[in-house]
Amino acid sequence: MQPKEQNPRQRNKMTEDKTETTKKEENKEAENETKEAKIEEKKELKKEIPKIKKEKAIAVGKNLHLSTKDAAAICKFIRNKKIGNAIKELEQVVLGKKAVPMKGEIPHRKGKGMMSGRYPKESAKHFIILLKNLAENSAEFDEPIITEAFANIGSRPHGRFGRIRRKRTHIQITAKDKLSKEGKK
């Protein structure tokens, strides 16, 4: 038996299918080449652009439930110290072994080497959390030092019956590398 002859329409379809598949393969190859070229361009750009080193690290606390007066005193207490030293000293405040110097009508602390001060334990706990976050943010610095620390009054909600305004404070602590600080002087 001889094989059946295919009619001309079927032959055209087969040749069209072959040409379509070859065209698809050529398109895929062209797309792959363009993708590879784009990847190489990106690598070259990455090599050209140097990684920018951070100048400072910031930790922010919004509407924390603590007194603005206590927060301002603690900010002054920790300013220009290393982050680790500041955390250790605030842990001493929480234990009641070290007082934070404060202004105003506050009793003297005998034998503590300061005129007047208190032990704001709850405020110190909030600051310890913020300082730990700041330490994580400034991980790429060699010796981070707290350069700025300030407290502002936050949005104060009314108490239960609407007469009393509650305490809220915004805190921002900024650290810079000790080497960059010395270089600017």
Q: Are 166 and 159 in contact (CB under 8 A)?
A: yes
- Among residues of the chain, what percentage have pLDDT more than 70? 79
Residue bearing tokens 């502002």: 152
CB proximity list for 54: less than 8 A, separation 6 or greater = 138, 140, 141
In angstroms, the CA 79 to CA 150 distance is 9
Higher pLDDT, 38 or 10: 38
* Residue 133 clears pLDDT 70, i.e. is over it: yes
pTM: 0.68
> Helices in 49-164 by DSSP H: which ranges?
68-78, 83-95, 121-137
The whole-number average pLDDT for the span 151-177 is 91
Helix (H) or strand (E) holding 58: strand 56-64
Where residue 6 falls among pLDDT bands split at 50, 70, 90?
low
Model confidence pLDDT, tens digit, residues 74-127: 999 999 999 999 999 999 999 988 889 888 888 887 766 678 888 999 999 999
% of residues, the chain, pLDDT over 90? 44
Q: Which domains are delineated in the chain?
A: 56-184 (3.90.470.10)
